[in-house]
Amino acid sequence: MADRVEVNDAAVKHARQLIRDGKIDKESDWSEAQPSASKENSFIEKHDMKEYGEWYLGLVPGEDDDNKGHYSFPYGDFSKVHRDGVIAAKQRAAQNHHPAVEKAADELLEMIDRKIGKDGK
């Protein structure tokens, strides 16, 4: 991963909307729910790289934006935000010294927890 991963503002906006809409998975184990390479490829075939990128909190500078390697820190399964996925992104960002991505993930996690608490879901 690059020295400095930037926050993908489009992904943060997309995640916020999903959370507001209640499209949250708080039950699944992220290690099992995280999309496989074949699921990623299938999504790209049906959509485009811009939509694909909206599921990744980080942008890797220097990588072509038509390349999956341009996107890092996944948070969902192409249908829902996964609470464990956001936690994993936050932890990985912290471990790899990407404070902006860590902060974005933390803010999403707080939003998820407020939504879950508010809705009781």
How is 52-113 classified by DSSP, letter by letter?
HHTTEEEE-TTS-TTSGGGEEEE-B-SSSEEHHHHHHHHHHHHHTT-HHHHHHHHHHHHHHH
Residue 84 has pLDDT above 70, yes or no: yes
- Domain annotation covers residue 89: yes
Residue 33 has pLDDT above 80, yes or no: yes
**Other Cβ atoms within 10 Å of 83 Cβ, number:** 22
- Domain annotation covers residue 114: yes
Mean per-residue pLDDT, 46-68: 94
Mean per-residue pLDDT, 13-34: 96
pLDDT at site 3: 63
- Domain annotation covers residue 69: yes
Please give the Cα distance from 102 to 46 (Å, whole number): 30
Q: How many domains does the chain have?
A: 1
Please give the Cα distance from 86 to 83 (Å, whole number): 5
- Domain annotation covers residue 108: yes
3-state secondary structure of 24: strand
Residue 64 has pLDDT above 60, yes or no: yes
Residue 75 has pLDDT above 70, yes or no: yes
- Domain annotation covers residue 13: yes
Verdict on whether the full-model pTM lies above 0.85: yes
Please give the Cα distance from 104 to 16 (Å, whole number): 11
Residue 2 has pLDDT above 60, yes or no: no
Containing domain of residue 71, as a range? 6-119
Residue 118 has pLDDT above 70, yes or no: no
What sign has the CA pseudo-torsion 66, 24, 106, 114? positive
